[in-house]
Structure 1
């Protein structure tokens, strides 16, 4: 018998998938009974009865429902009293308003997730009739099923499902694009952004947006129907990291929310910097996380030092590692400043302003212990007091430049080697000169006692000792 067949280019007459969404359907193919069809392609089963009972005579895949049979549709199926069933489960993206259109001789029924939406079920001979319904399809995956029976004569059947793209009806925003990836080329200093195909059936275009980190303003880079774009933002001195996001737009003019923001850094960055000071060696050891970006090349370590009367960032050296040990640093109680910069494989280096930035993650402010003792010994005088010896330590350094916080006075019996602390006391800053005194109770035993004094600072450093002063306590 003669068999006629016409196949549409796409299930449901939807958009061209080459440009916009992976909807391209495979051509019908004859396959074994338990078949798996490509995405969005119908599974088709033939029955030699109109009750769809028993095992199907044949199962294959069909890209579109658009058939015309003048006799038996396939071997083993009669010319009259046969049934054909199509089914497909597909992702409708954000869903929205659709039109289902069916046309057939004899019987056709259309189901969405098992719920009948079109019912034309009576004999018509060779004359087809049609029906269209408008309905809203929820977002996500849904199953379509189309049943057709031919009682007598020619068998003609078509079915399409198409989105309603008029802004009057479609108020549903498309889903945001997913799978956004970025690739930064350091040689050209351009960023290529790519993303996955959108599931929408009424997609019109994508828009790519960019904003600098720290800014809240998005700039539209381009509108495209493709799924990748190379941003021609070129600036040899640009070290600004940018966020990119992609938005989808449908034919009704609805725009999705932005995709997950993806950051692009023209330069790898040092995300944290720590350091320790070794009192034994006087050296500072710096540490930071090792960068693994493919365009990383090396680090440069800087120290903020005084040069010709002003402080500047001075390079200490370069490394590809994540630690650096300086030369000996004077333990002066001051704060030292260090900075680690990154250079990429095109020779661009992290922005390095002259000033200090306490919030910069790649900058360290390290307090160095004070190892410098007060320079001068205090004066010391002794005389008798009630029940002992009065020792007085005095320092004549002007108060604005004093480098000590208190006095310490020690005593020993003449001819012995052991000194005892008889006073450890901060001085009264209101007095000038600075002084501290103590009446040291001693037995009236006729012995001679020696005293000495020194100053100390807040870090526990001591000045040289004063000269030794002696006094004999009269015997009682």
Structure 2
């Protein structure tokens, strides 16, 4: 490439080349004065020599390299034997195939990240020569530098860098858009999505997509060259949360992957509902994270209760806080079900289905401890058995509605106050009536003993005691 550029310089012909990945030798770069230029604008430095040595005579900013000087370019720089250097660092986005193109009299070189790509460093007098080269640029930030020297005569220089945008040249997809933000208007029920500008130089536009949470199907909302869009979607119940993502497309028709999905919830939700039962007060206390969304207004607490023979969600009240204590609840060992709904500042409330949902984050299934004892005392019979006294406890409750799991029989010597347990055991559920019997081994010493019995349930609740039965062990 270097030899071809020299030939072109001597003959005045135009040179065009396409080299993908080809790099030429680098060259040292003199330090430029500390001048700040806007994004993607060249910093330009003038030297009164062709070796770019010493301090620049002047440093400024230049939006494009396209000059035609017939004399001194700036004060303090001679008309001949001067040098000008341009440099800019910019983000090339996803990169891809680019073209450097130059037209100049005398010497010109173009670099990418300090690596020479174009080299026409031979005097040409007043005759401009041109050259272009195509090559791949990696994604991210890179520095473009152009060195120009005028040895004598007219000083003309023009340089451009641009992406190759035809589908046959460019198969590099743009980077996914970033900075996606959403804003939901509870009054209009519309969502505005905005995003940051892509760094791609060959950007053609963006496409906005949405999908309901729980679905894998994306729907294209719009195609735009702008960087925001207000989605006119209005849900009948204003409750469905949606994901939004933005995709970029370039002039070659390549499309980026989607931006990071951003969720829009028309309503705040209760993300977790917990609760405890206080055995002393018989009250349930519910807790949930406090919502901080600007559209939040209040909560409604509900209990699933039997009403006119049907289970229904019954409102217990509303609150702006994140805790609720119920009225006393019977400690019946049954499950209680609670739900907390959110209402936004537009008066729309979380969907409230009639049934139970074990997976709903705003619903709690709470098992209440059983504090209800078996209702009736068992029957107690006492008699003699070999070596002692037989005590038998019976209960005649039909098997399907028995509310106890076992019997306990106690004994004490008549005239004393201390009872001791003779038997504590479950019954055979196949028997009707249910019973437990024991032959209590006692000495034949003429003493009298008293017995009583009761039933118990799985929660440790006891029925009332039976009547006391007394038996005397005769002297043996």
Q: For residues 387-415 of structure 1, what are the alpha-carbon distances to aligned partners after superposition, in whole Å with 9 as ceiling and x for unaligned? A: 21110001111111111000000111111
Q: For residues 250-273 of structure 1, what are the alpha-carbon distances to aligned partners after superposition, in whole Å with 9 as ceiling and x for unaligned? A: 000000000000000000000000
Q: For residues 368-392 of structure 1, what are the alpha-carbon distances to aligned partners after superposition, in whole Å with 9 as ceiling and x for unaligned? A: 0111111111111111112211100
Aligned to 1:106: 106
Deviation at 1:235, TM superposition (A): 2.7
Give runs of ≥4 in structure 1 deviating > 2 Å: none
Contact 1:189 1:236 in 2 (8 A): no
Deviation at 1:33, TM superposition (A): 3.4
Q: Would you say 1:186 and 2:148 are equivalent positions?
A: no
Aligned to 1:235: 235
Q: Would you say 1:448 and 2:448 are equivalent positions?
A: yes
Distance 2:335 2:282 in 1: 14
TM-score under structure 1 length normalisation: 0.93
Q: For residues 40-93 of structure 1, what are the alpha-carbon distances to aligned partners after superposition, in whole Å with 9 as ceiling and x for unaligned? A: 111111111111111111111111100010000000000000000101111100
Contact 2:238 2:267 in 1 (8 A): no
TM-score under structure 2 length normalisation: 0.93
Aligned to 1:61: 61
Deviation at 1:173, TM superposition (A): 0.2
Aligned to 2:398: 398
Q: For residues 412-433 of structure 1, what are the alpha-carbon distances to aligned partners after superposition, in whole Å with 9 as ceiling and x for unaligned? A: 1111111111110100112111
Distance 1:433 1:33 in 2: 106
Aligned to 1:91: 91
Question: Which 5+ residue runs of structure 2 have no aligned equivalent?
Answer: 1-31
Higher deviation after alignment, 284-293 or 430-439: 430-439
The SS at the match of 1:371 is coil
The SS at the match of 1:332 is coil
Distance 2:373 2:122 in 1: 109
Deviation at 1:236, TM superposition (A): 4.5
The SS at the match of 1:157 is strand
What is the number of equivalent residue pairs in this alignment?
445
Distance 1:68 1:455 in 2: 111
Question: Which 5+ residue runs of structure 1 have no aligned equivalent?
Answer: 1-31
Distance 1:416 1:112 in 2: 107
Distance 2:425 2:237 in 1: 59
Aligned to 1:328: 328
Q: Would you say 1:289 and 2:289 are equivalent positions?
A: yes
Aligned to 2:434: 434
Distance 1:383 1:124 in 2: 134
Aligned to 1:5: none
Distance 1:119 1:375 in 2: 104
Aligned to 1:276: 276
Distance 1:83 1:227 in 2: 41
Distance 1:98 1:141 in 2: 14
Written as runs of structure 1 = structure 2, the 5 A alignment for 1:175-254 is 175-254=175-254
Aligned to 1:152: 152
Distance 2:108 2:123 in 1: 10
Distance 1:219 1:235 in 2: 15
Aligned to 1:17: none
Q: Would you say 1:370 and 2:370 are equivalent positions?
A: yes
Contact 1:100 1:159 in 2 (8 A): yes
Deviation at 1:447, TM superposition (A): 1.3
Higher deviation after alignment, 203-212 or 424-433: 424-433
